[in-house]
Amino acid sequence: MANVPEAYRYFTLDQLKGALKKMYLIRRFEEEAEDSYQRGLTYGTMHLSIGQEASAVGICMPLSNADYITSTHRGHGHCIAKGAEPGKMFAEFFGKETGYCRGRGGSMHIADVTTGNLGANGIVGGGIPIAVGAALSIKHQKKNAVAVCFFGDGANNEGSFHESLNMASIWKLPVVFVCENNQYGMSTSIERSTSVKNIADRAVSYSMPGITVDGNSFSDVASASVEAVARAKSGEGPTLIECLTYRTRGHSRSDRNRYRTKEEIDAWAARDPIPRFEGELLNFGILNETMIAEVREAAEREIQSALEFAKSSPDPDPLQVANFVYSS
């Protein structure tokens, strides 16, 4: 099995099954979220990451609850990959008191501190310095942990990105910067927005390794993450990983899809990370069809009971609107 990618040898069978389940959970969570929205059952907006699941799950493979992540407005995948419960996520999406943020945050602010998830963020680049701050805490508290910072290609032109990479580098902090390059910041392509060909090239300016990986390949992403996490934990400092990927859905509910072609969307859909992961698991003899079906069904059961939990949950009490502003 000389051709088996490193990730399949590095992780246990249970870990790989868990990764597949998380990819199914993310996909099905977002399909149900989209469906609920289209049927008028939910409110506000949402940003779907359908097509980007391998990046979220692959990056989180070497992480434990002691490790932090910060996420983005397109963060459902990161939450589930880091261990969030779909029921509390749906409840938040539906604005329920049982949601992760008691209905105060919605889709763009789901966090789960028990799993080290410091939260999605509605501001492009907002979470980047926060992740560096979490890494500063890790260093001071002498913990064996890392802070992983997810952001999109759009954030690579924010000042916070550049300031944060610089500080993480000069202080050699345990951070892994993960740019999910899905080719567009809303409607503006990276060719039109970004001065470098690869966003990973930005790493040179901040004296850290920068690597570009196929973000739709679970094994490529997971291997890059394992290496970057090890480097961070050993005190060698941050890494910038660029995951090349694509969101097959629009930016948000307002997207009329005027900036990309059907051919382009179809070409990326053909590289869907989930069938690719399934194919590799089969080809390398790690899982058989029956086992894959079992994982898929387990994910489906979890999604259905999560939806049920969320739909039957109570709304927040309007009299409590000003609670949780202050600790004291």
Partner 1 sequence: MTDSAIREISFSQAIYEAMALAMEADERVILMGEDIGVYGGAFQVTGDLVHRFGPERVIDTPISELGGAGVAVGAALTGMRPIFEFQFSDFATLAMEQIVNQAAKMRYMLGGEVSVPVIMRLPCGSGSGAAAQHSQSLEAWFAHVPGLKVIEPTTPYDAKGMLLAALEQNDPVLIFEHKLLYKMKGHVPEGHYTVPIGPSETRRQGKDVTIVATAIMVARALEAAVILEGENIDVEVIDLRTLRPMDTESIIASVKRTSRLLCVYEGVKTLGIGAEISAAIVESDAFGFLDAPVIRLGGQECPIPYSPGLERASVPQVDDIVRCARDLVRRKI
Which residues of this chain interact with partner 1, rule CB under 8 A? 68, 70, 99-105, 109, 111, 113, 118-119, 121-123, 126, 128-138, 140-141, 147, 159-160, 162-164, 166-167, 170, 322-328
Nearest approach, Cβ of residue 171 and partner 1 (Å)? 8
Which residue from 220, 225, 212 is spatially nearest to 280, judged by alpha carbons?
220
Nearest approach, Cβ of residue 127 and partner 1 (Å)? 8
Which residue, chain included where needed, has tokens 């939910």?
A: 42
Nearer to partner 1, 138 or 199 (CB): 138
Dist. CA 150–CA 217, nearest whole Å: 17
Dist. CA 242–CA 211, nearest whole Å: 6
Nearest approach, Cβ of residue 234 and partner 1 (Å)? 19
Nearest approach, Cβ of residue 325 and partner 1 (Å)? 5
Nearer to partner 1, 31 or 158 (CB): 158
Nearer to partner 1, 17 or 109 (CB): 109
Nearer to partner 1, 150 or 218 (CB): 150
Nearer to partner 1, 173 or 286 (CB): 173
Across the chain, where does the E strand assignment appear? 68-70, 147-152, 175-181, 184-185, 188-189, 210-214, 239-244
Which residue, chain included where needed, has tokens 């934990």?
A: 233
Longest dimension (CA), the chain: 63
DSSP 312: T
Dist. CA 155–CA 218, nearest whole Å: 23
Dist. CA 284–CA 7, nearest whole Å: 12
Nearest approach, Cβ of residue 140 and partner 1 (Å)? 6
Nearer to partner 1, 189 or 323 (CB): 323
DSSP per-residue codes, 139-164? HHTT-S--EEEEEEGGGGGSHHHHHH
Tokens representing 286 are 């790690």
Nearest approach, Cβ of residue 102 and partner 1 (Å)? 3
Nearer to partner 1, 51 or 116 (CB): 116
Nearest approach, Cβ of residue 37 and partner 1 (Å)? 20
- Measured over the CA atoms of residue 70, residue 72, residue 76 and residue 78, the dihedral's sign is negative
